[in-house]
């Protein structure tokens, strides 16, 4: 299987993406709730580490003044998972009861598979706590 070469975002693409994120966080619409998953699907592999850190910082700054993103029952989990994917400080490895080791992140005491969340961001790839053998933060 041939690996696909990932092209970095142009300065213009980065600016548009970053501004869309900053505009949409905290809005209470279906479009803003779905934006984080769309951004992960379309742009995650094109972001530089610095760009991921900038977005993470903006998301953390937004949350520092508020309890949640937009509507707590609709928007919040989508945006917090977005932050969890981008914020490498919160990634850690766990051993699962099936013998595998995976990288995960946690949002509101729910553990998510990092790789699956990146590869298929519209799905809720949580790991039941009883499936974690060792390594939980």
**9-18, 50-59, 110-119, 126-135: the lowest-pLDDT one:** 126-135
User: What predicted TM-score, i.e. pTM, was given to this entire model?
Assistant: 0.90
127 has pLDDT over 60: yes
Which SS3 state, helix, strand or coil, does residue 44 take?
Answer: helix
The tokens for 37 are: 């998953």
**2-6, 72-76, 86-90, 133-137: the lowest-pLDDT one:** 2-6
**63-72, 79-88, 89-98: the lowest-pLDDT one:** 63-72
pLDDT score, position 136: 58
76 φ, ψ to 5°? -55, -50
The tokens for 103 are: 């990288």
132 has pLDDT over 70: yes
- CB burial of 102-123 (b: ≥16 within 10 Å; e: otherwise) equals bebbbbeebbbbbebbeeebee
pLDDT score, position 29: 83
The per-residue pLDDT for range 1-53, each reduced to its tens digit, is 444 568 899 999 999 999 999 999 988 888 889 999 999 999 999 999 999 99
What average pLDDT is seen over the chain? 91
**CA separation for the pair 3, 7 (Å, rounded):** 13
């Amino acid at each position: 299987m041939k690996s696909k070469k990932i092209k970095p975002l142009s300065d213009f693409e980065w600016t548009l993406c970053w501004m869309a994120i900053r505009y949409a966080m905290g809005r209470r619409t279906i479009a803003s709730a779905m934006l984080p998953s769309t951004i992960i699907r379309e742009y995650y592999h094109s972001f530089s580490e610095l760009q991921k850190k900038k977005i993470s910082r903006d998301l953390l700054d937004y949350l520092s003044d508020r309890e949640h993103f937009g509507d707590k029952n609709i928007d919040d989990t989508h945006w917090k998972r977005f932050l969890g994917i981008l914020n490498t400080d919160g990634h850690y490895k766990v051993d699962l009861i099936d013998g595998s080791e995976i990288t995960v992140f946690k949002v509101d005491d729910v553990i998510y598979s990092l790789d699956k969340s990146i590869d298929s961001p519209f799905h809720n790839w949580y790991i039941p706590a009883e499936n974690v053998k060792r390594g939980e933060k």
